[in-house]
Amino acid sequence: MHIIDNRADLTAQVQGWRSAGERIAFVPTMGALHDGHLSLVDLAKTHGQRVIVSIFVNPTQFAPHEDFDSYPRTAEADCEKLRGRGVDAVYFPQEDEIYQDGRKSPVQPSDAAQGLETAFRPHFFEGVVNIVWRLFDHVKPDAAIFGEKDFQQLQVIRQMVEAHSLPIEIIGAPIARDTHGLALSSRNAYLSPDDLHIARQLNKILFAVRDGDMTLEDAPDALLKVGFDKIDYVDQRWGRTLAAAWLGKTRLIDNVGT
Ligand code: AMP
């Protein structure tokens, strides 16, 4: 597995593969990799002969009060996991090469960004399209894989690619969950054992809404009752029931198909 930390080496590697007629599948991540990320890698392998994973904790998608500084950074363990999964290259972009021309976003988020996450993290999708656009420009993949865990993000990326006619196939990957149904997340590492117990109720309540055993309107109270501290939203869009809720300083999101 190639470990690449600059754009010139990445470009040389990608050009070599491409001139051999190989398709490049790309998985952007912020690291602290878990089985959810690795399921994206497995899916990527079915969409290209070569798989590139990027690891970059992107400053522009965090507001000043958010967890950019404390976000888990586990580069060595991440590389071990990726090597074990047969990834061809892991790309650690340099911040000054990514934001060479400043941090302003070259592109704006589309309609899909309206509401839900944006109502609570107004900076977020501009940061996401900013980094994904720049990573696509560095990697120039044929296909890119994004998790349905961040369902609204997946829609925003799809619209970005469509609006700008980028020649990149966007593939959504199903949500990887633990044995209790909790959606895997790097931020789960922040949870105490008691919090983890509460966190595992989130998916149960979303499934109850989906199955008609609870109304959408009753879901926020049900989440508070099981121990969540604050509910940002429980809502339905794109045939999904989506939620964001806080446990102490940790914000969890999840969604299920309706
Ligand atoms: P992150 O490192 O959190 O930015 O996530 C990188 C990619 O992995 C994004 O496309 C996420 O949607 C995806 N992802 C994270 N957790 C999961 C999960 N539990 N199941 C599926 N995809 C996931």
The pTM for the full model equals 0.98
**Is ligand 1 within 6 A of the CB of residue 146?**
yes
**Is ligand 1 within 6 A of the CB of residue 52?**
no
- Looking from the CA of residue 146, the nearest atom of ligand 1 is 10
Q: How many residues does the chain have?
A: 258
pLDDT at 222: 98
Which run of H or E residues covers position 219? helix 219-226
- Which of 29, 34, 37, when mutated, tests ligand 1's pocket best, judged by the most ligand atoms within 8 Å of its CB? 37
- The amino acid present at 161, given as its one-letter code, is V
Catalytic residues: 37
- The amino acid present at 140, given as its one-letter code, is K
Euclidean distance between CA atoms 199 and 73, whole angstroms: 22
Contacts by 225-228, CB closer than 8 A, 24 or more apart: 226/198, 226/201, 227/197, 227/198, 227/201, 228/198, 228/201, 228/202
Q: What is the pLDDT of residues 160-216, one digit of tens each?
A: 999 999 999 999 999 999 999 999 999 999 999 999 999 999 999 999 999 999 999
pLDDT at 258: 75
pLDDT at 237: 98
- Which of 90, 132, 149, 203, when mutated, tests ligand 1's pocket best, judged by the most ligand atoms within 8 Å of its CB? 149
**Is ligand 1 within 6 A of the CB of residue 149?**
yes
Q: What are phi and psi of 23, to 5 degrees?
A: -85, 140
